[in-house]
Amino acid sequence: MPLSLATVFSCLARTAAVNAAITTRGMQQIGLAYILAPALRELYPDREARRRALARYAEHTNTHPFTQPLAAGVLISMERDLASGLLNEEGARRLRQTIPAALSAVGDSLISSAVHPCWALVCCLLLFLGHVALAAGLSIALCLLLQGLRCAGFLYGLRYGFDAILHIARLKPGDWAGPVKVLNALLCALALAFLFWQALPGMPGYVKAGMAAFIALAHWLVFTRFVTPVVFWMAGLLLLACAGGGTLHL
């Protein structure tokens, strides 16, 4: 049962407001129902059938805002199969519980923990070097790219349904976060090195370079789980104690 273009674009536009009515108990529960409402209205002309369909989304739901459009597209495709008799309600319930959680892990690890910090660090470096227009242009371009990916994810999920999740899972997007985080450590070291050179003019250059390199090395050691972060917290406290006269008052 194909959906009209007006319904598809209405659902797509509503994905931008998924967090507008977030609650601590249901999280994105209201937002998801708001996204799916136009599609459910068209798929289930009968009011009682539409009420039962909306009731399927009355439970707790939460996923990353940038993977939410993909999840919404898959869920609409699932409801389309359910309305056509190609899927039973038990299968729909299991898919509805699985999809947001699976995509949430990808969004948190890749977008929030890797891509966004990389974006911020690159812009900081450009601003430090005086390239304000370039930083603004990069931010606008990346913002448009992310919005384009949101739209593409929604349409991809709507077309292929749960197979879209399987296709993305084969690409292992969660593994992409590791190299980006290593790059973030190097960018952070460069940013700190620039700040050291500007703010500490009396310090020897090799000391500044060593401090910046230590940041990148510490990040790599923690990332590879060779050293736990506690070691660096203890080392930092020890340095503060030495800088304060050799005694740390707890």
126-179, pLDDT tens digit by residue? 888 888 999 999 999 998 998 898 899 999 988 888 888 888 878 887 778 888
The closest of 212, 223, 222 to 187, measured between CA atoms, is 212
SS3 88: coil
pLDDT of residue 246: 45
Overall pTM > 0.75? no
Judge whether 228 and 221 are in contact, CB under 8 Å: no
Residue 245 pLDDT > 50, yes or no? no
> What is the amino acid identity at position 20?
A
Q: How far apart are CA 144 and CA 36, in angstroms?
A: 24
Distances (CA, A) of 132 to 11, 58, 123, 129, 135: 37, 46, 9, 8, 5
Residue 4 pLDDT > 80, yes or no? yes
The closest of 236, 206, 242 to 218, measured between CA atoms, is 236
What DSSP line would sit under 188-245, residue for residue? HHHHHHHHHHHH-TTS-HHHHHHHHHHHHHHHHHHHTTSS-HHHHHHHHHHHHHHHTT
Judge whether 71 and 63 are in contact, CB under 8 Å: yes
Residue whose token pair is 């990069």: 138
SS3 247: coil
Residue 10 has φ and ψ, to the nearest 5°, of -65, -45
pLDDT of residue 183: 83
User: Counting Cβ atoms within 10 Å, is residue 28 exposed (0-12), middle (13-18) or buried (19+)?
Assistant: buried
pLDDT of residue 51: 87
Q: How far apart are CA 222 and CA 229, in angstroms?
A: 6
Q: How far apart are CA 202 and CA 75, in angstroms?
A: 61
SS3 23: strand
5-40, pLDDT tens digit by residue? 899 999 999 988 888 877 777 788 888 888 888 999
pLDDT of residue 248: 42
172-210, pLDDT tens digit by residue? 877 788 888 878 877 877 777 777 666 666 667 666 667
89-112, pLDDT tens digit by residue? 777 777 777 777 777 777 778 888
- What's the distance, Cα to Cα, between the start and end of the chain in Å? 68
Chain centroid offset of residue 196 CA: 31
Tokens of 130: 């005086």
